[in-house]
Amino acid sequence: MPRTLEPELQRALAERVRYCHEMGIYDFYRRESAFPDETLPPTFQSELREEMSPKKSAAVASIAHSSLAAIAVNPEQGVSDPSAALKMIREDLGDCTRCKLHQQGRKQIVFGVGNPRAELMFVGEGPGADEDAQGEPFVGRAGQLLNNMIKAMGLRREDVYIANIVKCRPPGNRQPERDECETCSPFLMRQIAAIKPKAIVALGATAAKNLLAINAPMTELRGRWYDFKPAAGDPSWPGSRLAVTYHPAFLLRDPRQKGEAWKDLQMVMKYLGIEPPKKPAEEAR
């Protein structure tokens, strides 16, 4: 029968893991030379080995030693080329099985797409059937509308970066659940930290609530700027500004709200210094 860790040790470990998360450290890597396991109390060693995989037990052992030197930060940390950093994050994500979505019919992981040096990033909720099939966010009907919104701003899809709160399709297009968002969002945070966009647009309530950790209706979330900086971000980077607008899928269902969404996008354009493209009639004038 598996034994549990002593409550005091459990508390200390939980505290240390929380501290690491606040510092933007989510993954722990084994460094052989940094784990003098034999210095651990014997009971602790056996309890760890019984309960956890070797990789995890090594990580927790290092935490128990309170030795931050034994913990490697995210592999892309210090990599200044955003394209290289994104590749490293993608590699680290691997064929992810960290949450239950990997067993619920996803075909592939939908990592994100666009310009690694984008000034503007859009974050949606999660892949739908088309995105799951093609491995790219926002390629279905909602994606067509998002493309039109980007074009109306005077930008091209290739200019911006597009990602989602979760990278695997929730079955039947249900909303991603809390544990799924929490498991996936460290990777999104690392993507944001690599790209360092000037502005982020959260598409819909799920994206907004997860990014901002605020539970409020869309009417309250929209129409203002939020300061946003992932914990994993470069200390010399001041962070992004984040705006919230309606999800394109919602706008397809209720096109009367398109005017409101356009107001949100105009706020973003003003901040980024983007002039909307002239209409053909204006150009002719």
- In the bound state with ligand URA, the residue whose beta carbon lies nearer, of 58 and 142, is 142
Provide the pairing of β-strand 113-114 with 226-228.
Answer: unpaired
Beta carbons within 8 Å of 174's beta carbon, 6+ residues apart: none
232 near 114, Cβ under 8 Å?
Answer: no
Binding mask 147-166 for ligand URA (x = CB under 6 A): -----------------x--
Binding mask 120-139 for ligand URA (x = CB under 6 A): ----xxxxx--x-----xx-
CB-nearest residue to ligand URA: 124
- In the bound state with ligand URA, the residue whose beta carbon lies nearer, of 82 and 127, is 127
- In this structure, which amino acid lies at residue 36? P
Burial 43-80 (b: 16+ CB within 10 A, else e): ebeebbeeeeeeeebbbbbbbbbeeeebbbbbebbebe
For the beta carbon of residue 270, count every other beta carbon within 10 angstroms.
Answer: 10
Looking at residues 196 to 255 of the shown chain, list those that interact with ligand URA (rule: CB under 6 A).
249
DSSP string covering 210-227: HHH-----HHHHSSS-EE
- In the bound state with ligand URA, the residue whose beta carbon lies nearer, of 126 and 186, is 126
Find the shortest distance in angstroms from Cβ 106 to ligand URA.
13
Based on the shown chain and the rule CB under 6 A, indicate whether residue 142 belongs to the binding site for ligand URA: yes
Find the shortest distance in angstroms from Cβ 98 to ligand URA.
19
48 near 157, Cβ under 8 Å?
Answer: no
Find the shortest distance in angstroms from Cβ 96 to ligand URA.
16
Binding mask 49-88 for ligand URA (x = CB under 6 A): ----------------------------------------
Q: Is the dihedral of CA 64, 67, 68, 71 positive or negative?
A: negative
- In the bound state with ligand URA, the residue whose beta carbon lies nearer, of 207 and 232, is 207
At which residue do the structure tokens 């009367």 appear? 256
Find the shortest distance in angstroms from Cβ 207 to ligand URA.
7
- In the bound state with ligand URA, the residue whose beta carbon lies nearer, of 164 and 245, is 164
- In the bound state with ligand URA, the residue whose beta carbon lies nearer, of 63 and 201, is 201
- In the bound state with ligand URA, the residue whose beta carbon lies nearer, of 128 and 186, is 128
DSSP-derived secondary structure letter, 177: P
Please tell me the distance from the alpha carbon of residue 240 to that of residue 233, in angstroms, as a whole number. Answer: 10
Looking at residues 245 to 264 of the shown chain, list those that interact with ligand URA (rule: CB under 6 A).
249
Find the shortest distance in angstroms from Cβ 233 to ligand URA.
24
- ∠ CA 195-198-200, rounded to 5°: 80
Helix axes 54-64, 42-51, angle to 10 degrees: 140
DSSP-derived secondary structure letter, 277: P
- In the bound state with ligand URA, the residue whose beta carbon lies nearer, of 197 and 248, is 248
Number of residues that bind ligand URA (CB under 6 A): 13
Find the shortest distance in angstroms from Cβ 142 to ligand URA.
4
For ligand URA, the binding residues (CB under 6 A) are 124-128, 131, 137-138, 140, 142-143, 164, 249
